[in-house]
Structure 1
Amino acid sequence: MRTWSKSVAGAATVMLALSGCAGSGGTGQAAPPAGPRTLTVWLMNGSAPDKLTDQLHKEFQESHKDVTVKYEVQQWNGIQDKLTTALAGNDAPDIIEIGNTQAPKFAKAGALVDLTAEASDFNKDQWLTSLKDSGSWDGKQYAVPFYAANRLVLYRKDMFEQAGITAPPTSRQDWLDAITKLRAKFGSDPDFQALYLPGQNWYTLLSFIYDEGGDIAKRDGTKFTASLDTPQAKAGLEFYKQLQEASGTKAPKDTDEQTPEQAGIYGQGKVAMMIALPWELATAAKGNPDLTAKSSAFPIPSKKAGTTAPVFQGGSNLAIPAKSQDQDLAKEYLKLMTSAKYQSQFAGAGMIPGTSTDVAALEKDPVTAAMAKASSNGRAVPATPGWATIEAGQNPLKDMLTAYLTGAKSIDAATADANSALNKAFAG
C-alpha cells in the first residue's frame, strides 16, 4: 500500500511479451468447465486486511459450489515483471490487483478483459473518479477501482496552540499566515522547520497546479500533450516555491520526500507540518510515540478560502486477465468485492474505498478524516501507457522542480524542458 505513490513500471518489452494475449474483451472464452474449479486471486502485500479476505473468500466459496479460491499475496517489488510473464502465459491468475499507473499499459497491450458492459455490476455509480480514469483506455473500462489514498497536511497541535493558531488553515493565505506565526514563535531554534517540504515532492506540486486550473497534460482521445508551460501550471509551480521559501524548510531541493524519509524528520520533534500520506504519522511515531496524540491533519488548502485543493490520488485497481480460464467466476468475485458490505471494511482499515461513498469509518480519526474530506476532489495522472515509465525513470516533474527552485533554470525553461521530456515519454 505504501508504494502507491511509486510506479513499478517494467521495461519496454512489456508490449512484446503481451502481444500474444487473447483479445482484451475475452469474448472467445470457452464455456465454463463442469466440476471443481479454482479461482486464483493475486492481491498485493498490505492491501486488503486478512479479516476482509477471510470473510469474503468463505462467502464466495459457500455461494459457488465446487469452487476454491486460491489466494496469493504478491510483493510490489518486481511485480511488473511477474505480471508481464503471468499475463502472457497459459496459467494466468483470474483476478489481479494493479497500481493505478499500470492499468493503461496492460489494457493497451490487450492483456485485460474489457469490463465496460458489466461496470454497473461493480457499483459503478460510486466509483472514485481518479481510479475510474486510470482503469480506462480508449473509451473502455478494463479495471475496477479497489481503494485509494491522498496526501494531507500533518501538523503539531501543540505547536499551533503555542503559536496562537486557533484553527487549521482553510486557504493558502491562512497556511502562509500560520507559517509566519510558527517561525516567529519557534524560529530561534536553528533546527525548527515550520513545514518540511523537499524540492521534488511532485505529488504536492500537482495539487497546486490543479488548484490553479492547470494539468500535466491535455488529452485528445488516447493522445496526451504535456501542458506544464501553461500560465496555470506555472502559477502552481510559483506557489510551490513561495511555500518552500516561506517555510524555511531545510529539506534538500534535489530529492523527494523519501530521501531522507520525511516521516523520520517529523519524528525528531522539530517540524510543525509535513505534507504526507496518513500512515506516515505512525512511521514518525515509532521513535516518538507522543507524536500520535500531539498531531492532527487538515486537507491541502485551496487558494479559494474554505475549499480544499484537488489532490493527486494514488491507489489500486482490480482487473481480470484476458487469459483467465474462469472469467465468469472472476466477474462474480469482483461483484462481491466491490459490494458495500466489503468496501466499508476498507474505510474501517483507514483507506478510501474505491467503489463506495461510505467513508464514515474514516471520519472517526482526524487524520483519515482529512484524507476523506479531500478524496472527492481527487485526480489521477494521465491515463497513458507511457506514464509508468515516467515515474520509473528520470521523472521530468522532479527535474523541473529542482531546476526552478535552485535557480538553475527560469520557470519558462524548466517547464519547456519538462514538456519535451513528457511528450517524448507519451509518444514512446
Structure 2
Amino acid sequence: MSNLLKKKSWMISFVSVLTLSVVLTACGGSKEASGQKVTLTYWNGFTGPDRPAYEELVKQFNDKHPNIQITMDISPWDALLAKLPTSLASGQGPDIASFDSSLIPQYAKGNLILPVDDIYEKGIDQKVMAKSLVDAMKYNDKLYAVPANTATLLMYYNKDLFKAAGIAAPPTTWAEWQDAILKTTKTNGTDKQYGLVLADHATIPMWPILIWGNGGDILSTDRKKSMLNDSKTVEALKIWADLVANKGISPVNLTGGDADKIFASGKAAMEINGPWMAGGLNGVNYGVAPVPAGPAGKATLANAVAMVIGKNSKHKNEVYEFMKFWNSADAQAYLSSKSGFPPTRTDLNDNAQVKSNPLIPQFAAVANDSKFYLAGLEQFSKIDSDIFTPAIQAITNNKGTVEATMADASKKLDALLSGK
C-alpha cells in the first residue's frame, strides 16, 4: 500500500473512531451515566497514623457514588514507587495514583499520566488554592495532578526553654530570631543545648527557607539560570552558616530524623517542621509560630502529595468525580481535622472541623507565604543531592568560603540546566 493510501486509510479509521466517540458521548458514554458500576483502583503510600482518615474519605465517596467504587492499594512509599512506573508503562497500572509532587515531571515526561487541565475548569477552583500549590501540580505549564494533601512548615519552639532564657514571645523577625537562637544556645560541660536545629540532608528542605527570607533563591524565575551565586543568596548563607559553624547554634550534618530527636528530647529551643511533628512531642511544652520574616519578608516551605490519572485509565470522567470530591470543602475539612494536615483549600480557616485542631489553622494561615522547592523540574533529584546539599554541608563544616562554594555550585547548576 502506498504511503498516501496508508494515510487515507488511517484518516478514515480515525474519523470513524472519532465519530463513534462523539455518538457514545452524546448518548451518555460514561458508565456512571448509563448506570453501570465502575471500579477504580487507587495506589498510594498513606501508611502512617493518618491512614484511617484517608480510608474513611474513600468510604464516604463510595457511599455517595454507588456506581463509582474506589479500591485503594496502600503500600509503603518506596514499595509503591518501585512498582508504579513499570506498571503504568505496561498498561497494568492503577486508574489513580499518588506520590510526592516533585515526581510529576518524571511521570509526565514519560507519558505515564494524563494531563488534567480541564478539571480545573470544570470542578476544582484554582482560586481557593495557594498559587504555589497549583503550580506544583504542573509540568511544562500543563497541569498533570490535583493535590491529595499539602503541608506547610512552621517554627516549633520549646516554651520552657524560652521562659528560662527570658524570651516572652516567639520571634517575628530575623533580628529577634537570631537573638533568641543565641540566648538559647548553651554549653555546660559536655551538655549542649541548641538554639535551632537545622538538618542539612535526608530531610525536608530547611535551608531554602533561609535563602528565600533574604530575597535569594536557588533558580531564576524562568528556572533557566542558577541563583546560588546571587548576592542575596550568598548573604543569607553567610549569616546562617556562621551561626551553625562558628557559633554552634545547631549540630552539623544532621538528618531530619536527627533534628527531630534533639528537639523532642528538649535539647533544642527551636526547629522548623511540618504538622506531622506534633504527634511525636509528648512531654514537650511547645508552641508553633510562623517562620520569622527575613529582610525580604515572610517565607516558608510547602510540600504536597499529588493525585494523578494513570495513562491507561478508561474512566477519566469517573476519576474526575473522585478528584472533585476529594478537594471539595466538606472532604477537605474532614480530612484536615483527622490527619492534622492543613486543607488543600485556603477558604476553610474558619471551618469548625478544621478549627477543632488548633494547630491546623496556623499551618493553613501561611499557605500564601509558602514556596515549593524545585517544583516541576526533571532534574530535582540531581540538583538537590548532587549540588545544593553538598554545598550546604561544605559551608557548615567550614570546608570553604560561602562565596567560593556557592560560585562552584552555581557553575554546576548552570551546566546541568543547560544540559552540558
Both proteins in one fold, TM over 0.5 = yes
Cα drift, residue 55 of structure 1: 4.5
1:205-231 CA distance string (max 9 Å, x none): 1112112222211254xx632221111
2:238: which partner in 1?
A: 238
Match of 2:391 among 390, 400, 408: 400
User: Does residue 376 of structure 2 align to residue 374 of structure 1?
Assistant: no
2:275: which partner in 1?
A: 278
Cα drift, residue 320 of structure 1: 0.9
1:257: which partner in 2?
A: 256
CA distance in 1, matches of 2:346, 2:95: 23
Cα drift, residue 425 of structure 1: 4.3
Gaps of 5+ in 2: 1-17
Distance 1:356 1:321, change over 3 A: farther
Give the conservation status (yes or no) of the 8 Å contact 2:346–2:364: no
1:57-82 CA distance string (max 9 Å, x none): 344454343x3322211321133332
Cα drift, residue 103 of structure 1: 0.8
Is the partner of 2:220 in helix, strand or coil? strand
Structure 1 residue ranges (4+ consecutive) displaced by more than 6 angstroms after TM superposition? 27-30
Match of 2:213 among 199, 203, 211: 211
CA distance in 1, matches of 2:137, 2:166: 45
2:405: which partner in 1?
A: 414
Aligned positions, number: 384
2:10: which partner in 1?
A: none
Give the conservation status (yes or no) of the 8 Å contact 1:343–1:356: no
Gaps of 5+ in 1: 1-26
Give the conservation status (yes or no) of the 8 Å contact 1:39–1:330: yes
Distance 1:362 1:398, change over 3 A: farther
Larger helix proportion, structure 1 or 2?
A: 2
With normalisation by structure 1, the TM-score equals: 0.80
With normalisation by structure 2, the TM-score equals: 0.82
Distance 1:374 1:239, change over 3 A: farther
Distance 1:420 1:304, change over 3 A: closer
Aligned amino acid, residue 133 of structure 1: D
Give the conservation status (yes or no) of the 8 Å contact 2:205–2:373: no
Is the partner of 2:366 in helix, strand or coil? helix
Give the conservation status (yes or no) of the 8 Å contact 2:183–2:195: no
Give the conservation status (yes or no) of the 8 Å contact 1:241–1:405: yes
Distance 1:374 1:117, change over 3 A: same
1:384: which partner in 2?
A: 377
CA distance in 1, matches of 2:360, 2:184: 24
Aligned amino acid, residue 191 of structure 1: K
| 128-137 or 163-172, larger mean C-alpha shift | 128-137
**Percent of residue pairs identical:** 22
1:196: which partner in 2?
A: 197
CA distance in 2, matches of 1:248, 1:100: 34
CA distance in 1, matches of 2:195, 2:300: 22
Is the partner of 1:210 in helix, strand or coil? helix
Cα drift, residue 180 of structure 1: 3.4
Cα drift, residue 39 of structure 1: 1.0
| 120-129 or 243-252, larger mean C-alpha shift | 243-252
Give the conservation status (yes or no) of the 8 Å contact 1:131–1:316: no
- Give the root-mean-square deviation of aligned CA atoms: 2.8
1:328: which partner in 2?
A: 317
